[in-house]
Amino acid sequence: MQQQSDPTASSLPRPVWIAPLAWLVLLALCAFFFNPLSTIALGILAACIIACTLQPLMRRVPGPRALGLALSGLVLIGVLAAAVFVLSWPLHKPISSAIDDWPMTKQSIDNTLDAWSKRIGLAEPPKVDRLLSGLLSFLLGQGGQELFSRGADVILGLLVSLAFTLIGSIFLLSEDPDRLLKPALRLLAPRHRPPMLAVLDDLAPRFRKWVIGTFTGMCVVFLASAIGFTSIGLHFAIPLALLAGFAEIVPTVGPATACVLAAVFAAATQSAAKALAVLIVYAIIQAIEAYFILPLIMRGAVNMHPAVTLFTVVLWGKIFGVPGLILAIPINLTIWALLEHFRIRPRDHQLPPAS
């Protein structure tokens, strides 16, 4: 006689400890392989940002997708090469002069800091090298000093990261989005697929506006700082203006750090009045950027309170290092989009209508 199977055997509930155990195992693996996983995740995020930025340009190019990709890549390379050429020609002489004079300038700043320390009674006066190391440790964690002490490793790592990001963006642009999204969405439950599609549709224009706004802000701040610092007679005006422009890529923390460094440099090498003039120039530039330029460019892209931006920039810098500082805003946008479409909006729909 053939034994019949129990129809309720397949419908028995799983033990309640399986799901927590699976999450614990996943978290343990993520913690163990944190550095490789974070590098891959941030690289994918950067590649997606570049792809979202170039996607509208590809759509305007008639013909096959490969032609649009090639022209978009040439446009990107051309813009970067033109920017490097435009900046290198007028900045070569002042930057070379600043590098040659830096040992003497650093000694002058150390002497000034030593005199200030004696006035306020500090037992051990601060030095330029110690201040820079402390700044790196604050922004990047304890590994910040070691990161920038190995120049060849840093350059090699940056080149590898840049190549990984650019090649990844080319792969994303070369394929039809549906061919990439459909297999990935199958990993999610059916009820989670529409919110994920909404997240991707929401993030694409925000990433694009963030890139345009950040690049424009860097250019505007550099030009305005160069004009302002030169007009007040600040030493090393062009290198400090270049530092202010590059610092714009790190929101809130970067511009404030560049301003403090310029003010301390002015006070140590020239006078306190010159440092006050630097602060005034910084305030004017930030006011113009915050109230006139960025609202027109990043309209609807980044609606975050400055306090949230400040704390998250430091947080992502501590966790991910330099990539976390640069990609702090995109990380925030991604997290907020996921929360909005997976948690906030579903709960709002479940609320009873107001009487």
pLDDT tens for residues 21-43? 766 777 777 767 777 788 888 88
- The closest alpha carbon to 241, from 225, 220, 261, belongs to 225
Q: Is the pLDDT of residue 67 over 50?
A: yes
User: Residue 150's pLDDT is what?
Assistant: 47
Average pLDDT over residues 242-261: 85
Whether the CB-CB separation of 222 and 244 falls below 8 Å is answered with: yes
Interaxial angle between packed helices 65-120 and 151-174, expressed in degrees from 0 to 180 and rounded to the nearest 10: 150
Which residue bears the tokens 């690289």?
A: 43
pLDDT at 217: 84
* Dist. CA 281–CA 276, nearest whole Å: 9
Q: pLDDT band at residue 297, thresholds of 50, 70 and 90?
A: low
Question: Higher model confidence: residue 337 or residue 91?
Answer: 337
CB-CB contact of 207 with 337 (8 Å): no
Coil, helix or strand at residue 256: helix
pLDDT value at position 145? Answer: 44
Instruction: Tell me the average pLDDT across 335-343.
Output: 86
Residues 6+ apart with CB under 8 A from 60: none
> What are the helix (H) ranges across the chain?
18-32, 34-60, 65-120, 128-140, 144-149, 151-174, 177-185, 193-231, 237-247, 253-269, 272-288, 294-297, 306-320, 322-326, 328-339, 345-350
> Could you say which DSSP state residue 15 is in?
P
Question: Where residue 281 falls among pLDDT bands split at 50, 70, 90?
Answer: very high
Asked if residue 213 has pLDDT above 50, the reply is yes
Closest CA to 275 of 298, 253, 289, 259: 259
State the pLDDT at residue 116.
74
Is residue 327 within 8 A of residue 42, CB to CB? The reply is: yes
At 343, give phi and psi (nearest 5°).
-120, -50
Residue 238 to residue 310: CA distance in whole angstroms = 27
53 torsion bin: left (phi>0), alpha (psi -120 to 50), beta (else): alpha
- The pLDDT > 70 percentage for the chain reads 72
Predicted local distance difference test score (pLDDT) of residue 351: 60
Task: Calculate the average pLDDT of the chain.
Answer: 75
The highest-confidence range among 78-82, 101-105, 114-118, 203-207, by mean pLDDT, is: 203-207
* HSE (side-chain half, CA atoms, 13 Å) at 183: 4
In which band, very low, low, confident or very high, does the pLDDT at 280 lie, cut at 50, 70 and 90?
Answer: very high
Whole-angstrom distance, CA of residue 337 vs CA of residue 139: 26
pLDDT digits (tens, 9 = 90+) for 142-197: 444 444 444 445 556 666 677 777 777 777 777 777 777 778 788 778 888 888 88
Q: What does the DSSP assignment read for 290-354?
A: IIIIHHHHSTTT----HHHHHHHHHHHHHHH-HHHHHTHHHHHHHHHHHHIIIIIHHHHHHSPPP
pLDDT grade, residue 296 (50/70/90)? Answer: low
- pLDDT at site 211: 86
- Ranges of each domain in the chain: 92-153+185-347
pLDDT at residue 1 is higher than 50: no
% pLDDT > 90, the chain: 3
Q: What pLDDT does residue 288 have?
A: 81
Provide the pLDDT confidence category of residue 16 given band limits of 50, 70 and 90. low
Residue 2, pLDDT > 60, answer no
